Amino acid sequence: MIAIDTIQETAERLMEKAAIEIPQDYLDGLRTMADTEDGDLSSFVLQAMLENYEAAKQDRRAMCGDTGCPRWYVKMGNEARIEGGPIALEAALRRATAKSTNDIPLRPNRVHPLWRTDHDNNVGIGAPEIEYGFEPDGEWIDLVTVHKGGLFGTDYRMLFPSDGIEGIKRFFLDSLVAFGKRGLACQPAIIGIGLGGSKDTCMVLGKRAACLRTVGSRNSDPRIAAMEDEFKELGNSIGMGAMGFVGKSMVVDCNIEVGYCHTGGMQMSVHAFCLSSRRAVARIHADGRVEYRTDPEWFTDYQRRETVEWTPPQSLSKSA
Amino acid sequence: MDTAPKPQQVRLSTTPSRADLEALKIGDIVYLDGLLYTAREGVYKKVCEEGSDLPLDLPAESAANFHCSPAATVNPDGSFNMGAVTATASFRFSKWIGPWIERSGARIIIGKGGMTSKDYREHFVPNGAIYLTTVGYGTGALLGRGIKQVKAVHWNKELGLAQAMWVIEAENMGPFIVDGDLAGNSLFERENARIAANLDKVYEGTRPAVLRRFGETDDRSDEVIG
């Protein structure tokens, strides 16, 4: 049984780590880009960002003033048991979000869409989002917080099989060029692409590709992994760098996730996880041990499973 | 790649003289000293549309308007806790910026991503104002280090902490980059034009979507297929 106090304390610690500490994979990716960037202005921006990450860690202050919209991904081993059940879990995550917003502090970004009511704690209707995943074995739960920022850089389009890879490339470039100008996408970014599913799941896949996979990771399907390499290179060939200045630092990495879709369609979404890619992860074990990391390890073979434990009825004509 | 002369790095008062601003060119790096205040759509609506009185003496106390919502809280004893500060995208405030500059006497608008050179020519140049963009955009911790003191917060009860008017004392706060100078030039637009020259090549081998969307055509009688 996992104690609810442990969950809340861990969640508070994760909120702080996400806001302040740039994940190592993103930092390594950005350093590589800074080494090869030859646009003067874009280079200046990347150096300033590297200094900023250091300042944030030294001062224990948020790395960016727009601290994004805190959200939670909870993954549970099949044997995990939580004190008070899922209702207590959600209450603890909401408390941790509000308390950390006040304590760190974070910017109280969340408001009512119409009345603009701000509770000054990043909690409200549907906020923070809490999403779930499950794994076959284990008594642990993984808590992942992502504080995704940005009103710019995300788009969706219904494409069709006849659009093909050329259409996918066009929409990818359109999204980067449109939101990269003036640096509105806060690039270089981790670009997540969702392909397939339905409109809603396509958006979820793309967002998770951006936020729950690390720089340097590759899809387990080698043909999709090759597309990830190709799209990263394509994005960096636009001629646009940090802040939309001349340069080649647009895509720190490109992650693609897919889901089975309607036979007539090919849904596509594009998401940009910005220069302050805020994510933090902890595994809480049944005995109360807590292990912190930065890789959500969300997309396991189980999450990408495509088979069913079911045997189709045997056709008589087949055996005849 | 960039053949322009190396940008200069300067410290600038938030109550600058005309000569201070004339010396700045697009691409220059600026660090600010003095009082600045945050104001965005909440404050603009309140002042420019509802006619509320300004809660401080502008531009005598400060001529620097930051498009910003800080990561900040007000403590129970009335003191402030401000960590990181970062700008928000300025283009959305175009409809208020002319009336606001005239009302507030602002000479330095600080934000994310600049505004259009049209806005600069129509509202900034005639009033002797420049535009500074934050860098990154995420150097919130570096900018946070430049805050010497949070002096006051106005209208936080009615507008919420994010839209409130925060008055901040800055010391060597930066870096910022000059996007709009007194001649109405825009650094972003110069860079966009250079990048645009390469775009046809990048798009080679791609194809427009089979199903188009309104917005790609404004002809509402168009079927948007094929």
pLDDT > 70? residue A98: yes
What is d(CA B131, CA B216) in angstroms, rounded to the nearest whole number? Answer: 31
CB contact under 8 A, B191 and A244: yes
Mean pLDDT confidence for A13-26: 98
pLDDT at A1: 95
pLDDT tens-digit profile of B30-57?
999 999 999 999 999 999 999 999 999 9
pLDDT > 50? residue A134: yes
- Percent of chain A whose predicted confidence (pLDDT) is above 70: 99
User: What pLDDT band is residue A317 in, cutting at 50, 70 and 90?
Assistant: low
B8, B191, B216, best to mutate vs chain A, most A CBs in 10 Å: B191
User: What pLDDT band is residue B4 in, cutting at 50, 70 and 90?
Assistant: low
What is d(CA B184, CA B105) in angstroms, rounded to the nearest whole number? Answer: 17
pLDDT at B2: 47
What is d(CA B169, CA B34) in angstroms, rounded to the nearest whole number? Answer: 6
pLDDT tens-digit profile of A139-150?
999 999 999 987
Chain A residues in contact with B135 (beta carbon < 8 A)? 44-45, 48-49, 243
List the one residue out of B19, B34, B57, B75 whose CA is nearest residue B168.
B34
Of B29, B138, B206, the CB nearest to A169: B206
The pairing of strands B29-38 and B9-13 is parallel
What is d(CA B192, CA A96) in angstroms, rounded to the nearest whole number? Answer: 43
CB contact under 8 A, B209 and A171: yes
Q: Which domains can be identified in chain A, with CATH numbers?
A: 1-21+63-149+277-306 (3.30.360), 150-275 (no CATH)
pLDDT > 60? residue A18: yes
List the one residue out of B168, B165, B174 whose CA is nearest residue B28.
B174
pLDDT > 80? residue A320: no
What is d(CA A231, CA A183) in angstroms, rounded to the nearest whole number? Answer: 19
CB contact under 8 A, B162 and A182: no
Q: Which two tokens stand for residue A306?
A: 């495509």
What is d(CA A148, CA A129) in angstroms, rounded to the nearest whole number? Answer: 12
pLDDT tens-digit profile of B139-198?
999 999 999 999 999 999 999 888 999 999 999 999 999 999 999 999 999 999 999 999
Chain B residues in contact with A45 (beta carbon < 8 A)? 135-136
pLDDT at A150: 76
pLDDT at A314: 87
pLDDT at A152: 87
Tell me the helices (H) and strands (E) count for chain B, helix number first.
8, 9
pLDDT at A319: 53
Contacts of B126 (CB under 8 A, 6+ apart): none
| Nearest-CA distance A266 → chain B (Å) | 11
pLDDT at B73: 86
- Percent of chain A whose predicted confidence (pLDDT) is above 90: 96
List the one residue out of A319, A202, A310, A191 whose CA is nearest residue A253.
A191
pLDDT tens-digit profile of A252-290?
999 999 999 999 999 999 999 999 999 999 999 999 999
List the one residue out of A189, A153, A185, A212 whose CA is nearest residue A18.
A212
Q: What is the mean pLDDT of chain A?
A: 96
pLDDT tens-digit profile of A44-95?
999 999 999 999 999 999 999 899 999 999 999 999 999 999 999 999 999 9
pLDDT > 70? residue B3: no
| DSSP SS3 for A67 | coil
Class assignment of domain B9-203?
Answer: alpha beta
**Beta carbons of A65 and B32 less than 8 angstroms apart:** no
pLDDT > 90? residue A210: yes
CB contact under 8 A, A184 and B192: no
AA letter at B4: A
pLDDT > 70? residue B25: yes
Contacts of B144 (CB under 8 A, 6+ apart): A55, A59, A61, A62, A65, B82, B83, B84, B85
- Domain edges within chain B: 9-203
pLDDT at B217: 87
pLDDT > 90? residue B138: no
pLDDT > 90? residue A249: yes
Please give the residue of chain B at the shortest CA–CA distance from A162.
B210
pLDDT at A65: 87
Q: What is the mean pLDDT of chain B?
A: 94
